[in-house]
Structure 1
């Protein structure tokens, strides 16, 4: 009886070990087969077959070394192969069909010993196709960028290196780089990219400034946010988006810098930039929080001149505050304005 149990236990143990081996082979085999298929397609220059080899973006992300075999190629040949892949997939439709190839190729280039300039054309192709790089790209790109910058290379020089392999940098790449740096808290370097991208022929746009201002206001760096907003309006002559204005006013309100917020609104109005209801409402509420009732009254008068009517509780607090500090004339003027507007 005991002998039978011992034999059964031994059999089950060996069978369990056999199953583990089979499971291990099964989990490794598909990835290796995929790598071999990709390598065969590259070596035969059958690049248009590549999209059909990738089952999903998840597969590409979970196997970031699918193009690792390219590291065995001389640099010139490696660059040529990447260029040929990018060029051959331009007309593949739908464009999303190629995103798995591009994503895997971007993972490989960003984690290679020399990620620039080769990774930038790959990123550019993804952005031009209308696809969104995977979230991990922000960290990989930022890390590679900061390492390259630590070698005392200027922003413009790193971007301009793309020309050595037949590509030109553009604002899309710079904006994505700015966004990536902001996502890991590297605002100072993101500011440097904004400042240096013009040297590579890339003109900062609404996205460039908006991303940086949003990141600056998120950590209440109001000095930098105001500086950037003034630069884009006065120097670059861009019309900021309403969300950008709201972000700045909200940050100034949070820092109790309502007078600076008023100056920003006045600057925008003087330059004929539209300021929306939400920005005005935030500003009035900020004035009330700081007990700046006279300022609140003046903002409301400017607000109603543009057809905006504050919420009823805000109206009541402004009028009550003005009466409370003895500003009867301004309080009466504000009330008359509300009556004229039928509110």
Structure 2
């Protein structure tokens, strides 16, 4: 043990020169030696070398940072905070991805991961790095453990302030997405609602993740209601893919009237509906043999300068004629003429 300590001490003194001559093949021969190198980097506060050291290993395992568990919690938090701040000016940011991943996964698997893990997550996202899928699983598991202890969403998020950070929408959105990914939609909704109490304003990604999960679970009434809240109360414009997924789900569940009502709501709110949204809606009406509704959607569609594909036009006109809706047939044809179809 004494000999090992002396070797580690000598290595720490010459750490900078070793890193400058670093070669993955000849300097990192095992996980044990890499862990020792990382430990020396932390002891000497040469945090800027950590990303390259971790990138040098084919086995980028969070356990390489397990030596941090030997440090008292308060000191460990301070050290990781120093590491995070040291990473901020480093370029290119892509070289930081493995380091952020290891720090995040290591912390999320520790006995008391919050609020430090949320701070690491925030730094990771702000750097433009995307956490690995495993991090999402670890986060959702740790979050559910905290919630089981009767802690509120706001309490968990606001704890970040105790270590010099503040919660933001990006961090909350990742929590929401992680919970949705493991079918914890109820908890994701709680995070969406609790964001405001923590000083975070939900954005279109916050709502979009929950609406998308609701659509996947076929909770269409809740999805439509949340979309309306997003637009009316939140003053936000949903993404095109969010609207498209909702319409696709309503079409799949044969709730075509609700889909049309949703489109009409968005039209009243001056939402910039695209051609594909209208086209899919018309196709859904035809699938349900509701030609009158299809004709009305076409009228709205052409009113915005969009014209259905020729096959859809023919089906709408023929279906309306078969129903005896000649006034609507003439109105639809007139629109086609006006658009020079």
TM-score (normalised: structure 2)? 0.89
Q: Does structure 1 conserve the Cα–Cα contact (< 8 Å) formed by 2:55 and 2:95?
A: no
Moved beyond 4 Å, runs of 4+: none
What does residue 207 of structure 1 align with? 205
Q: 1:56 to 1:315 in 2, by over 3 A?
A: farther
Distance 2:252 2:56 in 1: 44
Q: Does structure 2 conserve the Cα–Cα contact (< 8 Å) formed by 1:57 and 1:100?
A: no
State the shift of 1:49 in Å: 2.0
Question: Structure 2 matches for 1:185-200, cutoff 5 A?
Answer: 185-200=183-198
What does residue 244 of structure 1 align with? 242
Distance 1:173 1:273 in 2: 27
Distance 1:39 1:121 in 2: 22
Q: Does structure 1 conserve the Cα–Cα contact (< 8 Å) formed by 2:212 and 2:242?
A: yes
State the shift of 1:188 in Å: 1.3
What does residue 53 of structure 1 align with? 53
Q: Does structure 2 conserve the Cα–Cα contact (< 8 Å) formed by 1:284 and 1:300?
A: yes
State the shift of 1:39 in Å: 0.8
State the shift of 1:337 in Å: 1.9
Question: Structure 2 matches for 1:64-83, cutoff 5 A?
Answer: 64-83=62-81
Q: Does structure 2 conserve the Cα–Cα contact (< 8 Å) formed by 1:56 and 1:100?
A: no
Bigger CA radius of gyration:
1
What does residue 323 of structure 1 align with? 321
Q: Does structure 2 conserve the Cα–Cα contact (< 8 Å) formed by 1:47 and 1:88?
A: yes
What does residue 218 of structure 2 align with? 220
Q: 1:185 to 1:294 in 2, by over 3 A?
A: same
**Partner of residue 264 from structure 1, selected from 258, 262, 273:** 262
SS, match of residue 140 in structure 1: helix
What does residue 161 of structure 1 align with? 159
State the shift of 1:57 in Å: 7.5
Distance 1:137 1:175 in 2: 14
State the shift of 1:204 in Å: 0.5
Could you list the runs of 5+ residues in structure 2 that have no partner in the other structure?
A: 1-25
Distance 1:105 1:144 in 2: 15
What does residue 21 of structure 2 align with? none
Distance 2:314 2:56 in 1: 58
1:40 and 2:40 are equivalent in the alignment: yes
Question: Structure 2 matches for 1:137-156, cutoff 5 A?
Answer: 137-156=135-154
Distance 1:49 1:29 in 2: 18
What does residue 15 of structure 1 align with? none
SS, match of residue 55 in structure 2: coil
State the shift of 1:168 in Å: 0.5
State the shift of 1:322 in Å: 1.0
Q: Does structure 2 conserve the Cα–Cα contact (< 8 Å) formed by 1:57 and 1:103?
A: no
State the shift of 1:336 in Å: 2.3
Q: Does structure 2 conserve the Cα–Cα contact (< 8 Å) formed by 1:175 and 1:207?
A: yes
Distance 2:231 2:55 in 1: 47
